Amino acid sequence: MLEKIKGGLVVSCQALPDEPLHSSFIMGRMALAAKQGGAVGIRAQSKEDIMEIKKTVDLPVIGIVKRNYPDSDIYITPTKKEIDELLETKCEMIALDATLRDRPNGEKLEDLVAYIHENGVLAMADCSTFEECVNAEKIGFDCVSTTLCGYTPYSVLVDGPNIPLLKKLVAELHTPILAEGKINTPEDLAAVYEAGVHSAVVGGAITRPKQITERFVKVLK
Ligand SMILES: CC(=O)N[C@H](C=O)[C@@H](O)[C@H](O)[C@H](O)COP(=O)(O)O
């Protein structure tokens, strides 16, 4: 899968229960639109959405399950339970929160990565800082990404991709770097590729029409 997505665009097709497009059928059609537009991979949330997407397009899928637990702030594929759900979908790669925060039930990041690999699936690290990416490489993740940059209380949120962080990761790590999060425009996508990343994931700017509408309406105020 890593070869297939190299240099291309992965489109994240997600809508949670509180979002207007929440529907596996709609996410399947979003994935089809992405494929017809030239995407080389899909990132998707939940077993149901991924099953539908896999019926609709033949692109490789990065699967996640977002779930909240009372004893942890981690919500992207937090435990083995979510990994088991994703394994049923036959997605090619599983992404999980790879921050150093405590996981639910005291589960350990390295055990989860080993478990994903035992099942013949690739593991993608969703990180928020440089140190977390370094740790993810050490643990044996197949690729590391900046998905959570700006979404942990201790990382910096910029309105756009964090280019300095991506450049540092490309220079100092050996694992493929995926840019993800706040790639809002085609120019942002060009900029992350200029920084030297292996691949890039775009979500809301393509698949969240409410967010896109808000961006237009904002200039009228
Ligand atoms: C922080 C978090 O929970 N990110 C999620 C991870 O899967 C998604 O909600 C994002 O849409 C995805 O990362 C793509 O980012 P953007 O939509 O900014 O292109």
Q: Which tens digits make up the pLDDT trace of 146-165?
A: 999 999 999 988 889 999 99
ipTM above 0.95, yes or no: yes
Q: For ligand 1, is residue 63 a contact (CB within 6 Å)?
A: no
Tens of pLDDT along 211-220?
Answer: 999 999 999 9
Q: Which of 14, 22, 212, 214 to mutate to test the pocket of ligand 1 (most atoms within 8 A of CB)?
A: 14
Buried/exposed code over 131-152 (b: 16+ C-beta within 10 A; e: otherwise): ebbbbbbebebbbbbbbbbebb
- Nearest residue CA, atom 6 of ligand 1? 147
Predicted pLDDT of residue 157: 82
Q: What are the structural domain ranges in the chain?
A: 2-218
Compute the average pLDDT of residues 192-210. Answer: 98
Mean pLDDT over all residues of the chain?
Answer: 97
> E-assigned strands of 15-121?
41-45, 61-64, 93-97
Looking at domain 2-218, its CATH architecture is: Alpha-Beta Barrel (3.20)
Q: What is the pLDDT of residues 16-72, one digit of tens each?
A: 999 999 999 999 999 999 999 999 999 999 999 999 999 999 999 999 999 999 999
Q: What is the pLDDT, as a whole number, of residue 93? A: 98
Write the residue with the smallest CA distance to atom 4 of ligand 1.
147
| Burial grade of 49 (CB within 10 A; 0-12, 13-18, 19 or more) | buried
pLDDT in tens, 61-96: 999 999 999 999 999 999 999 999 999 999 999 999
Task: Give the model's confidence band at 221: pLDDT under 50 very low, under 70 low, under 90 confident, else very high.
Answer: confident
